[in-house]
Chain A
Amino acid sequence: MASDPSSGRGFLDTLPQVDKAKAMRLLIFGLILTIIAVTILLASRTVSAGATNWQNLAQQENSLNFWSGLYGSTEYAQRNNEILLTVYWMRHQATIFSVVGRIGMNVGLLMMILGFIFLAMNNTIDEKTRHVFLIVGAALVLIVMFGVFFAGFNLTINYS
């Protein structure tokens, strides 16, 4: 449906209306989902980045136990291999949770975009606020598009 400038109705007014409460719920759920997904993503990357430090700590503990005569060389080798297995998992889990986190983040952002667009379309809200909603929604669309279409795009957040 094309907008008709002569009628005095804007493009947004011609789009289907969605209940304000539903749009807000979509926005909040999207925000929560994005926060959870990004938290999972960052936590898994932190675990992966800290794997080598943990390996050094666990192997030193294993050596000290061997030297103090708590167990023999086979037990030492067994524990060393178990430490390596855990370290490989600590590194590999980042691959799994990065995918889960990224999908969750994109779905959450999509929900937020829809929430902002539905609010921008709601003619019970004043015009200026609707424009702000539209601009924020458009900015989110840009972020999602950069994230989806350009592999090199990333946001650096200092969390340490």
Chain B
Amino acid sequence: MTLMTWLTAKKTMKHTVIFLLVGMVCVLIAAPILRTYATSLSIYGRMGQTTTNNSATNIKEAFYQPFSLMDGQKATIRFSANFPNHSVTLKIVPQGEFEARFAANSSGGSVTGSRFVYCQPRYGSNPPTGCTGDVTSRNIANDDAYIIEFAGWTSTTNLIYVPGNYVVLVYGTNSTNASASTIVRFNIDIAIEMPGRLIARYVDIAGYALLVGFSTVFLFIVLVRSTNEGRS
């Protein structure tokens, strides 16, 4: 089949239009959706999550949520509290250590935890201003909100990727009518990073390549057809 017969074939025009549409879908629909919704995966999120006063002394009473990190993957945790007489503490513990402490039903304070970075962004500042690294726990007394970034370990405010299984541990106290069963409240959202933006970039490139390539083919088809019509 020569180039001319390929260009004049009815199927070629049909395929060209289909590829142009696929290119448009990639650039206008698929890539923005991936960029918006596939960047992070929320594995646990709750406003007003509860635990009890007992959680500070008995780890079995505390809030814990396990998660896994692969190489080059990080977790973003939103941790906040807005309740009077509360003191809540968050730690991120490697699963091995957590299981040992859990079996012994140790106190939350005796758990060491891995290093993470916490941020309280300040409007107009240059990042990482507003962020603190090399910490193994974050405590909120009554009211505060933090964005915590965790990848296994840190060096100042830079994350060091250590893949593995971890557990988010939250324990605390509520001194209002304090008893062992008094409820302690806090807000938490745990999200794992997903490769959405990377995939979206490749989808974008594929979409643009299809649009540029097949619009050129489309132009040649129209040109060849108009030349043939003029001749006949």
B149 touches A74 (CB 8 A): yes
B117 touches A67 (CB 8 A): no
User: What residues of B have a CB within 8 angstroms of the CB of A54 in the complex?
Assistant: none
B29 at the interface (CB under 8 A from A): no
Taking residues whose C-beta sits less than 8 angstroms from the other chain, chain A's interface range is 10 to 19
B216 touches A73 (CB 8 A): no
User: What residues of A have a CB within 8 angstroms of the CB of B110 in the complex?
Assistant: none
Nearest A residue to B154, CB-CB: A74
Cα distance A67–B125 in the bound complex, in angstroms? 8
A67 with B216: in contact, given A73-B131, A74-B149, A76-B127 (CB under 8 Å)?
no
Which one, A21, A72, A82, contacts B119 given CB within 8 A? A72
A36 touches B219 (CB 8 A): yes
A69 touches B121 (CB 8 A): yes
User: What residues of A have a CB within 8 angstroms of the CB of B123 in the complex?
Assistant: 67
A75 with B76: in contact, given A32-B219, A66-B121, A67-B123 (CB under 8 Å)?
yes
Cα distance A50–B197 in the bound complex, in angstroms? 22
B147 touches A71 (CB 8 A): yes
Taking residues whose C-beta sits less than 8 angstroms from the other chain, chain B's interface range is 20 to 34
User: What residues of A have a CB within 8 angstroms of the CB of B219 in the complex?
Assistant: 32, 36
- A21 → chain B closest CB, angstroms: 7
A77 with B127: in contact, given A21-B231, A36-B216 (CB under 8 Å)?
yes
Q: Which residues of A contact B (CB under 8 A)?
A: 21, 25, 28-29, 32, 36, 63, 66-69, 71-77, 82
The 30 sampled A-B contact pairs (Cβ below 8 Å) are A21-B231, A25-B227, A28-B223, A28-B227, A32-B219, A32-B223, A36-B219, A63-B127, A66-B121, A66-B127, A67-B122, A67-B124, A67-B125, A68-B121, A69-B121, A71-B76, A71-B147, A72-B121, A72-B148, A73-B117, A73-B119, A73-B127, A73-B128, A73-B157, A74-B117, A74-B157, A74-B159, A75-B76, A77-B127, A82-B197
